[in-house]
Amino acid sequence: MPQWQGKSKGTTNGHKFFVFIIKRFGIEFSYFILRFVAAYYLLFSDKTSKPILDFYRHTLKFSRLKSFIKLYKNYRILGQTLIDKTAMMAGVPINFTFNFDGEEALREMISLNKGGLLLSGHVGNWEAAGHLLKRLNTRINIVMYDGEDEQLKNFMDEITGEKTFNIIYVNKDLSHIYKIIQALNQNEIVCIHADRFLPDNKTVTCDFFNRPAKFPEGPFLIALKLKVPITYVYAFKESSTHYHFFSTDIKYFDSKKGDSVQSISNDFAYSLQEMVKRYPEQWFNYYDFWKQ
Domains: count for the chain: 1
Could you tell me if residue 5 is inside a domain?
A: no
Q: Which position has the higher pLDDT, 199 or 268? A: 268
pLDDT at 12: 58
**Which one has a higher pLDDT value, 147 or 16?**
16
As a whole number of angstroms, the distance between CA 273 and CA 270 comes to: 5
Contacts with 214 (C-beta within 8 Å, 6 or more apart), sequence order: 197, 203, 204, 205, 206, 291, 292
Give per-residue burial for 215-226: e unless 16+ CB within 10 Å, then b.
bbbbbbbbbbeb
118, part of any domain? yes
In a domain, 185, yes or no: yes
Domain span at 149: 12-282
pTM above 0.85, yes or no: yes
* CB distance 243 to 87 below 8 Å: no
Nearest to 170 by CA among 146, 148, 149: 146
In a domain, 6, yes or no: no
Residue 157: predicted pLDDT: 57
Q: What is the pLDDT of residue 19?
A: 73
Mean pLDDT, rounded, for 207-229: 94
Q: Would residue 288 count as lying in a domain?
A: no
- Angle formed by the axes of helices 27-44 and 46-54, to 10°? 90
Q: Indicate whether 155 belongs to any domain.
A: yes
